[in-house]
Amino acid sequence: MSVSVQAEDFDLGVEVAAMTSGNPDIGAVVTFIGLVRDTTGGALLSMELEHYPGMTEQALSQIEQAATKRWSLNASRVIHRYGNLQTGAQIMMVATASAHRSDAFEAAEFLMDYLKTDAPFWKKEHFKEGGEWVASKAADDAAKDRWSS
């Protein structure tokens, strides 16, 4: 169980190998990667990720602990980048490992839903004409709320 907030890129394969090596109880690994997406058809120059150092790590750890309490996980890993990222770049990853797939799938979705609304990150899209902060989506709140019903 660990979280990292970093400027550097990451390698999903290396991260998963580190989670599973020496852990023969793991039968399932689910991973998710979020990428910088250009919604404008070519106008996006880059995406800036701002965060709240200190609170970010704390919030991610709390979300990970909540997932570990709720599902039977052998390991989990959350990495989220900050700084200025190019189109197509990896923004973040979540990986969950469990004996059977259902725990890993559900925990990965839970981690993503809570991360979206509770981890202090903000995205700004940069275009030739200037920058624009990405607005939060009501759908993200709804996705999180389904876990408390």
Partner 1 sequence: MQLDVLYFAWVRERIGLAKEQVTTDAQTVADLVKELSVREERYQAAFQDMTVVKVAIDQTMVSLDAPLKGAREVAFFPPMTGG
Taking CB under 8 A as the rule, does residue 84 contact partner 1? Answer: no
Q: How far is the CB of 107 from partner 1 (least distance, A)?
A: 16
**Three-state SS for 6?**
strand
136 binds partner 1 (CB under 8 A): yes
The residue (of 20 and 147) whose beta carbon lies closer to partner 1 is 147
CA distance 85 to 73: 31
Edge-first strand listing for the sheet containing 83-85: 83-85, 46-51, 121-127, 130-133
How far apart, in whole angstroms, are the C-alpha atoms of residue 69 and residue 73?
9
Residue 57 phi/psi, 5-degree rounding, is -60, -40
Compute the least distance from the CB of residue 19 to partner 1, in Å. Answer: 20
Let me know: does 67 contact 43? Beta carbons within 8 Å. no
CB of 140 to partner 1, least distance (A): 8
Using CB under 8 A, which of 54, 100, 102, 146 touches partner 1?
A: 54
Q: Give least dist CB 110 to partner 1, A.
A: 13
Chosen residue from 3, 67, 80, 95 binding partner 1 by CB under 8 A: 80
- Between CA 4 and CA 69 the distance in angstroms is 20
- By CB under 8 A, name the binding residues for partner 1: 34, 49-52, 54-55, 58, 80, 91-92, 112, 115-124, 133-136
